[in-house]
Amino acid sequence: MALTHRSYAYENGGLPHNERLEFLGDSVLGLAVTSMLYTRHPELEEGALAKRRASVVSTVALAEVARGIGLGDHLKLGRGEELTGGRDKESILADAMEAVIGATYLSAGAPVATAMVLRLVEPLFENPERYGAAMDPKTALQEIAARQGLTPPTYSVQASGPDHERRFVATVTVGGLSTTGEGTSKKTAEMAAALELWRRLSDQTAD
């Protein structure tokens, strides 16, 4: 059930889907990350801790984690989502990641679920630059563009779908390179696009 998107459930006679597990997983994730940050960073004040927690549990960061374990390949999606690239959509991946965490909590208990969460998000903390990009990809993209002497990022956003299920697609361009990102809000879509282009520019620098 954790991998069943509501689009698949509705197309197949109203099967159970992963939104309740997502709700549970969100709380498990938040508590695990909060406890870890509190223990690991005794020097940080409440505001700084809250900012770091928000970054790790954000849609962009969770989608990055989900891609890292190939979660999209295992999702059950409706035909519409399949045709529009749902397996790589930030919001679908992030929601599924939370649902998996919720399912792990129910089947294996809190200690196992917490350990899994910390193992999955650890790379965001081990690589400070990448962590910063996931936390604020638009700023990270602007900074790497400036370091490489490229023009500042420019964004364009298109919206589609009914008001109750609005989807946004953002395109960001820097120095002749462009990437797109999707989300349920303009901000989320721009963040997804910015993070993807930041990755590409970072990979070029590493090469």
Scan for tokens 């709380």, then name that residue.
27
Q: Is 46 a catalytic residue?
A: no
Q: Is 98 a catalytic residue?
A: yes
Active-site residue identified among 81, 98, 190, 196: 98
Scan for tokens 């969770």, then name that residue.
62
CA–CA gap between residue 40 and residue 34 (Å, rounded): 10
| Residues in binding site for Mg(2+) | 22, 95, 98
Residue 1 CB-density burial (10 A; 0-12 exposed, 13-18 middle, 19+ buried): middle
| Residues in binding site | 22, 95, 98
Neighbour count for residue 169 (Cβ, 10 Å): 18
Q: Which two tokens stand for residue 61?
A: 């960061």
Q: HSE-up of 185 (CA within 13 Å, CB side)?
A: 5
Active site residue ranges: 26, 98
